[in-house]
Every structure is written in C-alpha cells, then in structure tokens.
Structure 1
C-alpha cells in the first residue's frame, strides 16, 4: 500500500516562478574592493613537495576571473609577507579557488602554506589580477610551455577550455626534473584522452629505476620541441617557469626564427631585480624633465634623491634596499607600503584597493614623487 504524498509549491499552491528560483539560488559575486578573506576547504598532496590548496569565501561567493590570473596572499610569517600565487583551478567552476604551491627551500611563503594551511584556516587576499591569459577554446593554434610550478596558469587555461567545450588545437609541453616531480601528470593524461584537440607532451631531465618513464628524457631542446609540436612556428606560445628555463625557451625560439610577437610569458621572481608578466621589448626611455625630490624611508633611516620620472622602488634600490616586489606594473600588490607624508603620482594596474589608497597606502613600483615623501620602509 502506497502512502499519499503532499507537495507544497508556494502560496496558494502556485508553482515557484523562474524569477523566484533564480533569486533563491543566486550566489553573490566576489567583490575585490570589499571581499578579502578566503577559507581553506581542502589540501591535496600533488607531488612530494607540491600541494594544492582549495579555498572559498566565508559565505558562498561567485569568483569571476580569467584563467591564468593570480591572487595576492598576505601570510603571517616574519611579521607579514605578501606572495602572488596563480589560480590553478578552472574558471568555469566559479565557487572556489585553488592554488598549487611548491615548497621552496628557505621560502617563507611556500613553507608557511605547506606547514600551517589546513582546512578551516582563513587567509587575507586581494585580487584576482594579471593579464597572462588566453581563450584555449578559440580557433587559434596554441602551444603552452611550462616547467615546474609554472604549470599552474597553463593548467587553469586547459581545465577551463576542457570544461567549456574542448581545446580546438592545443599542444601542452611540460618539463620536470624527474617523473616524481610531474605535477598533474594523471589529470593531464585523462584530459588528453577525453579531448581530441589537446596534445600533451612531458619531458624529465633525469629518470630513476624507482619511477617508470617512457616519455621524453632530457632538457627541452629545439629538436625535442620540433618532435613534440612540429608546427610550433605557426602557434601562439605561452610560457611560464623558472627564469633560466624561460631564458632558454626564448633563445631556442629565436634560433628557430619564431615570430616573438606571438610569444608571451609570466614569471613572479621575488629575488630578481626585474620581473614582468610579459616579455619586455627593449626601448630607449625618453628624457624626463622636472624636479628632483627627497625620498625618506622611515624604518631604515635612508634618504635618497629621486630623479624626475623615477619610481620610489627604483629610489629604494639605489639606497641599497631590497623591498619585496614582483610585477613592477602595479598589478600584483606585492610592494604595497604606507605613505607617511608627501604626494605621489601612482599609475597602478589594479593591485591596490580604493580603501587602501584612502588609508594612505601606495604601490612603490608605480609611484613617482610629486613632493618630498616619507615611506614606511
């Protein structure tokens, strides 16, 4: 004998309207100007020294970002350090973010995340930001070249393309030291088997008896690249990895006669004097006339002359200081500092919130003095 069922459909028994359902299920957008806290929901061990950290908002939030963009994390180590980590997740899955981080010996940010970031822990962030992105579902022929943890923006682009439809014609080349260092190896193999437009080629500098390996061996070379992607000269190339790796890729492509106008790269190198999101083409800077101002650094006591057109970051380096910086274009927010006095012209690219500007903070990489200034450095 079956029981009678009663279904409630709303007042007066009417079915809920599409508008009512949409309103009930709508998730607020993540607002970079106001939202600044992520909660860790999961930690995954990818390799022996690489972990993926999955985050969402305190309350459900819809994250809108382009695959390949990054978030800037404020980590409570050595007082406070700021680090940029590329989102490795698919942009087509908007209710959570993932970053994939390699433990770097002596690296305060990566070691803190590996040792202390656990589900339930909160962290302050800003972003997303960055311009290193492309639509891998377009008709363009693409080639991704990555090494080590430089795989993360490429993985976000590839995952997004596979979620939305499938890559039309994408070759994905990744290099690692050993088979045990290959990040996302199984997932890339699965995606390639499910998406005919995706071709994945992996190479390892060295192999060992403990890990079976039948792929390419040795450092990426022009001959190897020609075997992996015979028509690479016809493709738009995106590259990310350690600085020396990208130097080698650029040299290799120039040797092959590749059109470098179709080459894009990204690197966040906190130890380098210069690090950009895209390859810089050399040019002669115009002479700038104007007044020289004094820049005082309150914490160290240094005082330097800042020539017309010179940024505060350049002045700090002339003083022998090495403030943390990365993109040098006002995008990542790494060099955020307090302006104690004076005025500056700050031409930022979104790496600082308006409320932070109202609190007297600046990005020293893109701020030029308009008067004598004092900066909290």
Structure 2
C-alpha cells in the first residue's frame, strides 16, 4: 500500500499546534533512550528549524504536565517529526512517555520554539560538541546539512559515559560514510563490559579538542549538555583564544530559551592581554609585572627561576606549585587533582594570573 502523503504535501498547510500529533513509531536509541516519531493526522507538513524544540502535554496521573524536548529530526524531511527522550532518575514526564506512548496514540504539542539554531551560511564550518542528551539538536543540524547535499564541513564531538550510550551513533556513521567531510569523534569515560573500545577515553579536554579540530578557530561552535560540561568547553575555547562571539550553547536540562532576551548571560572569566597583573615569588623574593595572558611558568622564566616543567599543557603535573594568595585562571588537562586544587596548588604552565598573585617559589 502506498501512503498518500506526498501528493497532498504541495497543497497541505504547515502543521499548527492546534492539531494533536499522532505517534507513528517508537525506536530505541540507547539505554532508556527512545525516539518517538509523529505525523499530523491532517497530512500537514512540519515547518521548523534544526535545533528547535516542542513542548508536549503529558496526561500523567494526577493531572497533565508539560515537558520540552528538542527535535532530533531535520526540517528537510517535513512529513514527520521526531523527538528523542532519555529518562533520568526521578523523571516523571519522560518516564511516562517511555512507558506509555505508543504508535496510534495522539498527544497535544505546542511549538516549535527556541533560538539554538545555526544562523550561519551553509558553507560555514561547524564544530558541534555535546554530552549526553545534548546530542539531540546536533543530530538535527547534521542531518539538515547532510540533506542539503554537497560536502558540509562538520566536526561532530559526542561525549558519553559508555560506548553503548552514544545516541545516534549508527545514523551518524551512515552519513559520515557517504560524506567524508563529516568527521565524528567520540569520548567515553568508561568501557562497556566485554567489548573493545578504541576511541578516546576520559574527560573531554583541550588536547582532545586540538586533535579533533585543529582548525577550531575557523569554526562556528555549538555546544549542548549539562552546565558543568559546557563551562569546561567554554574555558577550553577561551584558553585557546577562540572568539566567543562564534560560540553558542543550550543546556538540555535548563528551561527552554525562547528569545534572545531569555538567553543566560555567560559570565566567564576571559583573561585580557591589556590587563596588568603581577606575580610574587615568595621564596626568591622576586616580583614580576605581567599581563593576564602570561602563564605563571612563563613569568617564572622571565624572572630567571626554574619551576620544573614537562608537557607545558597541563597534563603531566610536573609544574605543580603552591599558590599563597590571589586568583588564577587555570584550564588544565588532568595533571592536577581536585584535592590539590582545593589545597591551593596550581599548574604553573596553564595558570594565568588575575591581578596580584603570590606563589611558593
């Protein structure tokens, strides 16, 4: 039987949220992760932008609740729309969806909405960085660029706890096999039992980013995930001297951003080469003026002091030294423990002085 939707598309209207959505498929995409596809019973087509979201009205026991989900499908495929949901501990709405929503059921939805969309030319190089459920808008953006044809230049970085939790992995690899300019990079913190993993392990850091996207300065960056993850990405980029005017983010667990005025202000520390600083070396009694973009290690060498160092990239921990007073901006790559940081230690090679700083050297 041929589904008579394409002939009607030319004359059909775009879907409006006064019409319910009808679930047509439920597909598992990972542990406790499912993609739910919908179509409009009237045959209306879906008009939205990659990265936007819908809000569902869920008839849970005790009364309906509203939950927002990013659209994981692409507007280049307008006959249906797909939402991908992961149930976390204590979730009510998403748990109801996973346990109850089935093909044939109809549900009320409002939207689409949101401003986390790639407002850049189609030939602009993209760097998409996600963790956990934050991969959902990145999937929509990548599929859209893929469907436009040509050779979209996309560096796609996905971080997850285990390889089995890399959502959309097969779909992404299918696109990357056909379009070599789509480069995929995965980072996991632990292996799956009895399975081999040959990709990146650990916490996503500056070293990984430099290897994955050496031309990061030329790319528009879109980031989505938990706030601590996004903060670490911002710190990496700031440390690299990236122009943060080209950085965009959305937290998948935060209230949805509907307009630019709703977007949170990112109050990150951005060291400036114009701001004066000073490093005091307590043991040697030296005081050296510098700027906020000079590392403590570089300033020590100007002073003629020999702080032992190895990698000069925050990995080996050789340059660990005690900070006695003041504040530094440190973006390391695993070379110092949280306990050492709490005790006042820094890595001289990747610590930038913010104002007057005294160290034990």
Tell whether the structures are fold-level matches, with TM greater than 0.5. yes
- Tell me the equivalent position of 1:218: 202
Q: In 2 relative to 1, CA 73–136 (structure 1 residues): closer, same or farther, beyond 3 Å?
A: same
How far apart are the structure 2 equivalents of 1:75 and 1:136? Answer: 35
**Per-residue deviation, 1:166:** 3.9
Q: In 2 relative to 1, CA 161–135 (structure 1 residues): closer, same or farther, beyond 3 Å?
A: farther
Q: Does 1:280 align with 2:265?
A: yes
**Per-residue deviation, 1:223:** 0.6
Q: Does 1:163 align with 2:163?
A: no
- Tell me the equivalent position of 1:257: 241
- Tell me the equivalent position of 1:42: 25
- Tell me the equivalent position of 1:57: 40
Which of these residues, 83, 89, 102, is aligned with residue 105 of structure 1?
A: 89
Q: In 2 relative to 1, CA 166–233 (structure 1 residues): closer, same or farther, beyond 3 Å?
A: same
- Tell me the equivalent position of 1:185: 169
* 1:23-34 equivalences in 2 (<5 Å): 26-32=10-16
* 1:250-329 equivalences in 2 (<5 Å): 250-270=234-254, 278=263, 280-281=265-266
| SS of residue paired to 1:71 | strand
Tell me if the contact between 1:92 and 1:163 (Cα under 8 Å) persists in the aligned partners: yes
Gaps of 5+ in 1: 1-21, 284-377
Query: Structure 1, residues 330-359: CA drift from partner, whole Å, max 9, x if none?
Result: xxxxxxxxxxxxxxxxxxxxxxxxxxxxxx
- Tell me the equivalent position of 1:203: 187
Q: In 2 relative to 1, CA 156–30 (structure 1 residues): closer, same or farther, beyond 3 Å?
A: same
| SS of residue paired to 1:180 | helix
Could you say what the CA RMSD is over the residues aligned between the two structures, in angstroms?
2.4
Q: In 2 relative to 1, CA 271–196 (structure 1 residues): closer, same or farther, beyond 3 Å?
A: closer
TM-score when normalising by structure 2: 0.67
Which of these residues, 53, 58, 70, is aligned with residue 53 of structure 2?
A: 70
Aligned residues: 259
Gaps of 5+ in 2: 1-5, 269-361
* 1:356-371 equivalences in 2 (<5 Å): none
Q: In 2 relative to 1, CA 23–75 (structure 1 residues): closer, same or farther, beyond 3 Å?
A: closer
| SS of residue paired to 2:22 | strand
Q: Does 1:121 align with 2:137?
A: no
Tell me if the contact between 1:27 and 1:62 (Cα under 8 Å) persists in the aligned partners: no
**Per-residue deviation, 1:117:** 0.5
